[in-house]
Structure 1
Amino acid sequence: MPAKASRTTLATVARLAGVSVATVSKVVNGRSDVAPRTRTRIQELLHQHDYVTPVLRGAPVRPSIIEVQFAGELRSYGAEALEGIVAAAAECGVSVVVSKPGRAPNWARDLVAGGRRALIAVTSVHTAADLDELARADLPLVVLDPLHLPHSEVNSVGSTNFAGGLAATQHLLSLGHRRIAYLGGPATAACNQARAHGYRAAMEAAKAPVARGYVRPGEFTYQNGLLGAAALLDLAEPPTAIFAGNDEIALGVIETARARGLRIPEDLSVVGFDDTLLARMASPPLTTMRQPLREMGRVALRTALRLADGEKIESHHIELATELVVRGSTAPVSSPPS
C-alpha cells in the first residue's frame, strides 16, 4: 500500500508560486491586497495540491483582531477615521476592537494573548517605555494622525497638514482678506504646528502682517472655538477672517460671531479643517480643508496587517493629500465690522 502523501503547507505553496508565505496566507484568509494574477496563481496551486485550511482540519485558528485605541472622546474626526478602519477590516476579513489606552503591567502581551495582531493608535501618545513593551510583545503599532511626532521607527499615517494650512490661508488671501487669524489646537501637537506654519508661510508670502494676538493655540474643541473667537473679536483690530484648526473649532467661531450679530461670511469668513459631517451640516456650510480621514483609516489598517504578516514597509510615515472644499462660510472681504 503506498505511503500517505505529506500534507501541503503554506510554505510549499509559497515556494512553488515564488512568493512569501505571508502572501499565500493573505490569499487563504481572503485578504484583498494581493495582485489579481498572483492571487489566481496561488489559488490554482492550493487547488492542485489539495491544501486544507487549519479550520477544516480541526486545528485551532488564531483570531485575526486589530486593536484600535482612542485617547480622549470619540468625536466626529475619530468617528470618520474609525469608519475607514472598519471598512478596510471587513474587506480584509479581520475584526476590530476599540478601546481606550491602558497601561496595566504586561498590557501589550495581554493584547497578543487575546488574539490581537496589531495596534492602531488614534491621537494616542506612546512613551519610550510603551514602545519597548510593544517590541517585547512583538505587537506592531501604527499611529493614525499623530498629535506628536513618533519615534522615527514608528509607523504612522497622516495628511499634508502644512500644505493644508497654506492652502486654507491662500484661499482667504485670494478673497482680499489680510487680517486673518489662526485659531488652532494644542501648541505642542505636530499637526497643529504644521497647519500654523502653513498659515504663516502664506501670510509671509503675501506680505500680510500677522497682528499680535492673531495666533491662538487651544484644544480641538467647539468650546475653544467659542472662547477663542470671542478673544479675537475683542481685539482693537479684529480679523475679517479666521482659519480654524479643525471643524469643531470653526463651528464655535461661527456661533460666537452669530451671537454678536455678525454675519457669516459677509462680516467674517471662516475656514475649518478635516471636512467632517459637521462641516456639511453647518449653517452656512463650512469651507474647510478636506483631510481624507476614512482613507487614512483604511491605510492604517492595511499597514497594520502588513506589519503583522512580517512585511517590510517602504516608508515609516505616509501622508495623504489634503484638499480645499469651498462652501458658504467664506466670501470676499468687505468693510471690517465695527
Structure 2
Amino acid sequence: MPLHLRGTVLPEGVVRDVWALGDRLTFDRPSGPADTVADGGFLLPGLVDVHTHPGAAEGETVFDPAVFAEQIAAHRDAGTTALRFPGLLGDVPAEVRDAPDAPRMITAGRWLAWAGLSKNAGFHTVTADLVTAAVAEAKANDGWCKLMADWDFEAPPVPHELLRTVVEAVHAAGGRVAAHCQSAEGVLGAARAGIDSIEHGMGMPEECVGLMAAHGTAYVPTLTAFARSAPQIKSTARGRLWQEGHRTMIRRVREAHDAGVTVLAGTDSAPFGNVATEVEHLIAAGLPAESAVGAASWTARAFLGLPALTEGALADITVYDADPRREPAVLRHPRRIVLRGRVIR
C-alpha cells in the first residue's frame, strides 16, 4: 500500500500531499487506498552527513562490521538518510549496504596519503603514485576518492602540481576528489587545484574563498569534531595552531557562504547520528539558518547527486513538528522517518 504524507515541503515552503510508491515519490494521488503516516508538520528530504567514518569503536583503527552496522543504525534513527564516507577502514558489508532500512551510502574508499608527506597515520594507504591510486579508488567506489593534501602544520604538503594532476585524472574518469586539509599551504594548494571538496580547512588563507567559489569547490568544515577536540588540546605550539585553526574555520564558513561556496554539514566524530549539532555550529558561525539546514539536507543531497522532494525522487522523508529553519533544535526530534519508502519511525 502506498504511503501518504501531507505537510509543508522544504525548502519550497508549500503544503503538499506526497505519496511513496515503493522507493519513489509522487505528487499525483495513486488509485486505491493509501496509508497516511504523516498529516501536518514539515517535510525534509532526509538529513545527510557528508563526512562520517563509521566502522570502528572510538580510539580503534580496526574495521568492525558489527560496529559499522550499529553506527549506521544510529545515523538512520536520527533521520539521517544519506551518508558520504570520505575514507573508511574497511569495505562496507554488502548485507548492510543493501538492507531495506539502510541509509544511502556514498563511499570514497580508503584515505590516500602520498608517500612524500612528512608523516602518515597508520590507517592511511600510502602510495608513491597518487594519481593512479586516486583514479582506482574513485572507480572502485561511488565516484569519489579521498586524499590527504597535508598531514602536518609546518611540513610541506602534497605539491600543487601533483594535486592538480590528480584532480584532472579523476575528473577525466568521471569521479570527484575530497581532500583533508589542515595547514595554510595545504588548503591553498587544494583550492588552487580545483579539489571538489575541502574537508576541515584549518589554517585556510582568505584567498582560498575566492578560489573555491571559482572552481565550484564545496567546503565541509566539520566544526563538530573540532569544537569537541580543540578545548582538549594541550597548550603546546601544535595545540595553539590547532586552536587557531578551529577559529579560522569558523570565520571562513560565513565568508565562503557569502562568496557563493557550497558549505556542507559533516560531523567527522562520534556520537553518530549527530548532524543536527553540525547545523547548530554552522549557524553559530554565521550561516543563515535556512542554509545551515540545507547543508544537512537538500543542498547536501544535490551535491551528492541525490534528489530532494521532487516528482519521482527517492522516497526519503523526515517529518518535524516545527520548521527547522526557524527552530533548528527540532532536527533532533523527527516525528516520522521514511527511508526507501519504508517507515523507520
Q: Calculate the TM-score normalised by the size of structure 2.
A: 0.29
* TM-score for both structures, normalised by structure 1: 0.30
* Structure with bigger gyration radius: 1
Richer in helix (by share)? 1
The structure with the greater share of residues assigned to strand is: 2
